[in-house]
């Protein structure tokens, strides 16, 4: 493999741009709105009679279905959407 400037630039891009971004992508969760006005963000799972929200700090909060006003399901961003790859014919690979 050629280790010229283009290969070095690609390696630097992956190391300094893509890797740090991948860690932040999973920080966004679904949003639960309660009837009392409280809003929680985290991972939402049905547990039979209600819902459990595991917030970003790791705490689990369980609510009956009648306590919840609405749940916004937030799509987890795809890293490929954040950095669309383009074909580089010189390198013979997709680069961002």
Query: Looking at residue 58, which CATH number applies to its domain?
Result: 2.30.30.100
Other C-beta atoms closer than 10 Å to the C-beta of 40 total: 20
pLDDT tens column, 78-88: 655 555 666 66
8 Å CB contact between 95 and 86? yes
Domain count, the chain: 1
Joined together, the tokens standing for residue 95 give 């680069």
How does strand 68-72 pair with strand 93-95?
unpaired
Domain housing 34: 5-95
Structure token digits, residue 92: 């013979």
Using one digit for the tens of pLDDT, what is the confidence trace for 6-47?
766 666 665 555 444 444 333 458 999 999 999 999 999 988
**This prediction's pTM:** 0.52
- pLDDT given at position 10: 65
Q: Is 92 helix (H, G, I), strand (E, B) or coil?
A: coil
């Amino acid at each position: 493999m050629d280790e010229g400037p283009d290969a070095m630039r690609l390696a630097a891009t992956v190391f300094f741009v893509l890797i740090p971004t991948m860690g932040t992508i999973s920080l966004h969760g679904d949003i639960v709105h309660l009837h009392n006005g409280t809003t929680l963000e985290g991972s939402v799972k049905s547990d039979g009679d209600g819902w459990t929200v595991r917030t970003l700090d790791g705490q689990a909060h369980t609510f009956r279905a009648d306590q919840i006003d609405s749940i916004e399901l937030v799509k987890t961003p795809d890293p490929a959407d954040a950095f669309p790859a383009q074909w580089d014919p010189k390198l013979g690979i997709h680069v961002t």
